[in-house]
Structure 1
């Protein structure tokens, strides 16, 4: 882990660049032509990613079964879906988003007190990966470890301003964790596994890992040349995204095209991460996604990552391994897995593909 002690060069805050009034972005942020959104196939799919009403889980058997089937189909075909009637109040979602927006609007010297390092990523950051001279993304972020309690971010990593930030973040985490535990049961059932299989594989209800990345994407004068976040699949288990429904930007890869996600007011966007792809023996697929830059608006989003306990080896469920479908992945702990990400930054699906059993 020595190579992850510090950044290879001084960190520049994207927000500072955006607020400096520049009209041309620095070369460090210009993506190769093949990755520039202006030159790639994109589409506004009228259907979009599936939208699933979770209130039906409380309905009769038929309604519950239909919801489970809808989630299963979304995980197989898209790797992404939006959920409504999910149990997290809209008022809480708006409050936590605005509280974090207040943090990012503070003076730079206040935020700099929480500058992060690649050793743990906890705190205020502006890059992923430690490759010197790498092409960077047009966005800043704040990263915190929330659960289990043994790895929770230390008090020094939590912003003291605004004063309500810590309390409301914890309140939001508890509500989203309940949603994740429900979805883990739905995924287990839809794979034909015991209802608690996935949760147990992740370390049980109290053992699963939870971390939060609050993304801040400032205005960009040349959004066609860069990305707010490069294409990647999420390394963890499941991601719950609280997006800004007024300012879109998330795109999901579907075949050879990028589909723009239109977040619904009050909805949460769910996506499958690499660990569930591994555990399901590739029945469910993590999918590449990226974030566009925007010339007219800033954008904030909160991504809560629900992950396996970091020291548990995780491989395909034995019930999903057959002579016709052998085990596709070798077991690996999440600690081992994310070192790759922290060294290399977002790189499509290269990491999960490298896990495939030889």
Structure 2
């Protein structure tokens, strides 16, 4: 282990080992810390996409055309109910920029270790270069490194905490985030309308323009025994919506469909979009955040960029009163997003355990009354 990078930190419960350094060590055996229980390994109930189909692919090129918009909105609403996931093409984000930002972050993760360590993070905010989620001592870890950065609110954004090398990284990441925020605005409008709410309803519940947004760049190095571990354990995303820029060269994302896991096949220049827990709460369970996980590969590394579009952290999120009826009472207790995400910061990915803990035990929970 002498050639592996270890960092002592008072914040993390154990020494931090970079997964990339494990991958490059030449070992053919996976360390016990990363070996999942048999029931959680990637071969368990996994399906190929041709067995049950893939997540829906939706063309947004007609978003501004009144004659085409209805069909697009309907397709999004159906995808949210049946899958909780969909892919979008012709989404308005420059394909050139998508490729450039992926190349910049690939270069960062291939830079000297001492360069990356300048951005080493802590569990307080996760901002920076990291290798684990959660601070539970003795947890079985995931086979991935990552870089997490804040984009909104502007008070949290600090370019000095973003990589300075390659020299294009900060500028291209800023431009990319700006374009993805615009895409998220379109998606929020579609979700709101398809729930039977006003166009701005969900956006207003998130804080209007004063939302939260962050980016996590995921790096999954080659793994000597990929059948024993996962890149990210099963979880649903705690925030509002997630826009994922996947690796075109290798599949890794798996989505739960019933009792099985479906491997998503990325489409060139497409984004993968999924519903987060906060939209499930606001929709009173009509739209569901779905468990997903990431598998790793023995012959190929993999990169992805996950953009999280979230409510303002201090706003109380609870079911919309327009979606609460005597037949469908409020399903979830109110909670701020700050309170909600502390769960994951403590325990790491835990499937749908956080959502289940929030289920209301009373039908008298006061619903959200934000109106557009």
- TM-score calculated relative to the size of structure 1: 0.96
Q: Work out whether 1:53 is the aligned partner of 2:56.
A: no
Q: In the alignment, what sits opposite 1:17? A: 22
4+ runs of 1 displaced by more than 6 Å?
Answer: none
Equivalent in 86, 95, 114 of residue 91 of structure 2:
86
Match of 1:302 among 305, 308, 311: 305
Q: Matches of 1:83 and 1:353 in 2, distance apart?
A: 29
- Which of 115, 123, 129 matches 2:128? 123
Match for residue 349 of structure 1?
A: 352
2:250 maps to which of 247, 254, 258: 247
Does 1:179 pair with 2:183? Answer: yes
What is the aligned residue count?
A: 352
Counterparts of 1:81 and 1:324, CA distance in 2: 29
Aligned match for 1:214, one of 214, 217, 236: 217
**Deviations for 1:239-293, whole angstroms, at most 9, x for unmatched residues?**
0000011111100000011001001001000000000000000000000000001
Task: Please state if 1:146 is matched with 2:151.
Answer: yes
Unaligned regions of 5+ residues in structure 1, if any? none
Q: Displacement, 1:156?
A: 4.0
- How many angstroms apart in 2 are the aligned matches of 1:249 and 1:159? 25
Shift of 1:43: 2.9
| 2:144 pairs with 1:132 | no
Aligned partners of 1:233 and 1:289 also within 8 Å: yes
Please state whether the residue corresponding to 1:341 is helix, strand or coil.
helix
| Contiguous gaps of at least 5 residues in structure 2 | 1-8, 362-372
Deviations 1:53-82 (A, max 9, x none): 011222233x21111010000000000000
Task: Report the Cα distance in structure 1 between the residues aligned to 2:10 and 2:97, rounded to whole angstroms.
Answer: 36
Q: Which moved more, 1:33-42 or 1:94-103?
A: 33-42
Does the aligned pair in 2 maintain the 1:34–1:40 contact within 8 Å?
no
| 3-state SS of paired residue (1:98) | helix
Tell me the secondary structure at the aligned position of residue 185 of structure 1. Answer: helix
Give the C-alpha shift of residue 220 in structure 1: 0.4
Give distance in 1, aligned partners of 2:46 and 2:84.
Answer: 19
Measure how far apart 1:344 and its partner are. Answer: 0.4
Contact 2:58 2:86 in 1 (8 A): yes
Whole-angstrom CA distance in 2 between matches of 1:5 and 1:306: 30
1:208-257 deviation per Cα after TM superposition (whole angstroms, max 9, x unaligned): 11000000000001000000110100000000000011111100000011
Equivalent residue for 1:100, pick from 100, 105, 113: 105
Match status 1:269 vs 2:275: no
2: CA distance, partners of 1:166 / 1:5 = 29
Please name the residue that 1:166 is paired with: 170
RMSD after superposition: 1.1
Aligned to 1:42: 47
What SS does the corresponding residue of 2:298 show, helix, strand or coil?
A: coil
Structure 2 distance, partners of 1:41, 1:246, is: 20
Task: State the 1:163 CA deviation.
Answer: 1.3
Are 1:283 and 2:316 matched, yes or no?
no
